[in-house]
Structure 1
């Protein structure tokens, strides 16, 4: 059978890390969204200050629903800002906007990891629902080739999660530089902004851990270490 209690040995630690990461990013955001920045700038203000001088006047800004839903869309060249970030003059707002503009700069300058990640998105999306089906079929039909093909497809998700790390770390680095360049924060606020971005980075590390744990579980099943006789 495909499911094995060994699954929890591999996945539970990564799942606990994911829960902690989500708690960390939400609690850190809640803390620093209550901390007003010295210049009383909202996220929208900061975006308007930074975009044009950085050669990003072609990037449009739009509101998006929800909390922590802020993003940069490289396909449409749009910066999506949640209400809490766009309208609140907090340190968290500045950190998040600067990070997303960091992604816009990556796109503008042809940052290779961002382009690679974007190129594999369609394959990753398809493999996410095809791989489990192939694995189950391969397992039940006793077809190792089919099962290993499924594992390879699972591996695409791991590649995506892995390449996401340098993309996100670089965007945060660029964002913090922007905050300093345009003097939007003082030294204390810069440390606070870094805390916000570090907490967000932990969620991507947790996502990679989950993906690798699941991949390792399926590899273990196929190599026989976790297989149970019916």
Structure 2
């Protein structure tokens, strides 16, 4: 019983902590103006132009931390605060999203793989728990196994996402430093923003793996009881 309490505490608290960390870190450094005074939009455009990616658009989007890169439309969408304002947080986030555009332009292997997994992950995430619940409550190990297999596809997607995000952050730091967008005394703050954001993906992957392991143990126990 104690083990289950610890397990559920981990899968509930880990993502919550990661979200709180990224929000608090972003909020802190969103109030710190960048020395060069470049807005997120200017940073994104500058890095893209340096790589000859004039076909990638940079646009504002509503919402807080709604920043993303859309490979289908070749669009870097930045939250309005990051798009229009100059802050360490805004620069870090903008450079990170441009990092995805650079990955796309280079056909970065993990990004390509993740794109192929998106439709599979979307379907599996919607169906997996249906089969899992049917399997558990009806003691049908075959249905549970099908649910586990579908869930595993989603776990693979979460794991593949990690190198994609880490690489985008690495590219972001390389660009803002090499292009002189931030000063030496601003590097640590920019890294804190990027590291906090990365924690959300690590937490999501960790929870997904733990849940998959738990279901595999249930399936194993179910089969052992049938022997």
What range is the shorter-chain TM-score in? Answer: over 0.9
Alpha-carbon spacing, 1:5–1:75, altered in 2? closer, same or farther (3 Å): farther
Distance 2:13 2:136 in 1: 28
What residue is the counterpart of 1:183 in the other structure? 180
Q: What does residue range 141-220 of structure 1 map to in structure 2 within 5 Å? A: 141-220=138-217
Q: Does 1:119 align with 2:141?
A: no
| More moved, 48-57 vs 134-143 | 134-143
> Of 54, 61, 66, which residue of structure 2 is paired with 1:64?
61
Report if aligned partners of 1:11, 1:214 keep a CA contact under 8 Å in 2: no
Please, which moves more after superposition, 208-217 or 198-207? Answer: 208-217
CA distance in 2, matches of 1:208, 1:112: 19
- Gapped regions of structure 2 (runs ≥ 5): none
Offset of 1:141 from its aligned partner?
4.3
2:131 equivalent in structure 1: 134
- Contact 1:62-1:79 within 8 A present in 2 as well: yes
Check whether the contact 1:10–1:216 (CA below 8 A) recurs between aligned residues. no
SS of 1:67 mapped into structure 2? coil
Deviation at residue 110 of structure 1 after TM alignment: 0.5
Q: CA deviation at 1:139?
A: 3.3
Identify the structure with bigger relative contact order (alpha carbons < 8 Å, sequence gap 6+).
Answer: 1
Q: Which whole-Å CA distance do the structure 2 matches of 1:219 and 1:132 have between them?
A: 13
Q: Residue 89 of structure 1: SS of its match in structure 2? A: coil
Partners of 1:11 and 1:173 lie apart in 2 by 33
* Equivalent pairs, count: 224
3-state DSSP of counterpart to 2:34: coil
Assess if the C-alpha contact under 8 Å between 2:45 and 2:58 holds in 1: no
- Kindly report which structure 2 residues correspond to 1:64-103, keeping only aligned pairs within 5 A, or say none: 64-103=61-100
- What runs of 5+ residues in structure 1 fail to find an aligned partner? none
Q: CA RMSD in A?
A: 1.9
C-alpha spacing 1:5/1:118, structure 2 compared with 1 (3 Å): farther
Q: TM-score, normalised by structure 1?
A: 0.91
Equivalents in 2 of 1:137, 1:219: separation in Å? Answer: 15
Query: Under a length normalisation based on structure 2, what TM-score does the superposition of the two structures give?
Result: 0.93
Match of 2:27 among 26, 30, 33: 30
Deviation, structure 1 residue 140: 4.2
